[in-house]
A and B are shown apart, each in its own frame.
Chain A
């Protein structure tokens, strides 16, 4: 409002005990300090959205089911091992981990730590500010993208090098198994996971940003390990390119 048009709408005389504090435009006074009530009736909009989603999911699954048959091999035979013998695809990350260290470390301790960390996330980062926004803010987004890129580059290199020159094979007999199969792989894993945190630490991160880095490292690593085990492991559980598997092995036949 133009100030010149209002001259002392309320007197400042000491006899007056009231004064004009604020003029509220276009809104009833009970709305002050509240955002606009940007809501709609759930019926019928939400009901329709859910119906559409149900139809969409059903159609996709029906189309998939009409075009590809679920695999069925010969009847189970405990005396005849399949090569490769693979776990279901969502556990291929675990099976891939087994290739890089002692099973107790790789398939039990690290995954357990991972689950415990994921459970604890909301208790480690309990500042409710920024909830409901993707990556909290622009900086969070940039941190997430950089971390994801780092894992996508570093993890495959680690998997490849560790398979070509496995320390636990090369150091067998030189060091005790505890060193070559547990301590050395644990150090590798620890460095790869914690390195981005050390970098982040120079920029005074919030707890949320620490969580973004750790979760992204674990989440993208899980995807990389799962894809490696599922797509790139062929007969003898050796690394091959998915389209150049010996013996015509098709990784997708395991689905």
Chain B
């Protein structure tokens, strides 16, 4: 390591930021994980089994990545959008034609949203077919199902915001289903839409749900989801290590 580099990394200023040395030895590689708020979601050591691509296909991690992409592009879109039925559509047109990279920004948000639904559904299928819901992970499966429903909700509420024909009729069709719920159906639909039909009240409610309530719910539940994965010993693949040894056979 060059001496100027050592001078910097050994300085009190640097060490007030990073509470570990250069991670080329077991101690510092452990400290990287335990002293960094983002890395500390990870364990210090992981089993090779849980890293196998054909086990998890990285679908859970991908869901988080897409959620982050959606958060960033969504935040940028909020700078150019107003949820009023008079102006929403013109702002989308403005975004697409006047704002630099505006069309690209909207495309990214749109395709990422579809991608997230697909990835989250596939993640659930992966967890089911690998038996990763089994004890002690039962409740984390339940949280996962809630996250799937929230993902549908996030995508559905966002669908209305461009306020074009596609958005209007998709939400009209989608919410009319809610009205068929026995007993509370019509009340439920009115509660969602803020009125009898898709209008300004619906746009306001869907916007609030889409940019605030649902993303916050996803962020909260995802935190619990990941925390519980750690507390339950990482991916279920780890559980098979001891079993393989005890059974005296290879399952791969």
Contact = CB atoms under 8 A, between A and B. Distances in A.
B134 A131 contact: yes
Interface stretch (A57-65, A161-169, A171-179, A238-246): A57-65
Contacts of B43: 42
A70 B128 CA distance: 33
B26 A254 contact: no
Contacts of B185: 104, 108
B79 interface: no
Contact of A133 (B112, B168, B251): B251
Contacts, number: 240
Interface string B198-237: 1100000000000000000000000000000000000111
Interface stretch (A14-22, A91-99, A150-158, A184-192): A91-99
Given A73-B164, A132-B131, A103 B29 contact: no
Contact of B131 (A36, A104, A119, A130): A130
A104 B181 contact: yes
Given A61-B115, A131-B132, A104 B51 contact: no
A205 interface: no
B69 A58 contact: yes
A35 B62 contact: no
Nearest to B114: A255
Interface in B56-114: 58, 61-62, 65-66, 69, 85, 89, 92-93, 96, 103-104, 106-112, 114
B46 A108 contact: no
Point out which of B26, B33, B65, B136 has the most chain A C-beta atoms below 10 A from its C-beta. B65
Point out which of A39, A103, A253 has the most chain B C-beta atoms below 10 A from its C-beta. A39
B237 A132 contact: yes
A247 interface: no
- For chain A, which range describes its interface: under 10, 10 to 19, 20 to 34, or 35 or more residues? 35 or more
A106 to B, nearest CB: 9
B245 A70 contact: no
B90 to A, nearest CB: 8
B15 interface: no
B106 A70 contact: yes
Interface in B3-29: 23, 26, 29
Contacts of A43: 23, 29, 32-33, 39, 42
Given A47-B42, A68-B111, 19 more contacts: A38-B49, A41-B26, A44-B29, A46-B46, A53-B62, A61-B66, A70-B109, A72-B164, A76-B164, A78-B198, A85-B173, A87-B170, A98-B177, A109-B182, A119-B142, A121-B128, A131-B134, A132-B130, A133-B131
Interface of A: 33-36, 38-47, 49-50, 53-54, 57-58, 60-62, 64-66, 68-78, 80-82, 85-91, 94-95, 98, 103-104, 107-109, 115, 118-119, 121-123, 125-136, 144, 208, 211-212, 215, 219, 253-255
List 7 tightest A-B contacts by C-beta distance, closest first.
A65-B107, A132-B236, A35-B245, A76-B168, A122-B138, A70-B110, A103-B180
9 contacts: A39-B45, A39-B48, A41-B44, A47-B39, A70-B111, A75-B164, A122-B135, A132-B130, A132-B236
Interface of B: 23, 26, 29-30, 32-33, 39, 42-49, 51, 55, 58, 61-62, 65-66, 69, 85, 89, 92-93, 96, 103-104, 106-112, 114-115, 117, 125, 128-138, 141-142, 145, 149, 152, 155-156, 159, 162-170, 172-174, 177, 180-182, 185, 197-199, 235-246, 251
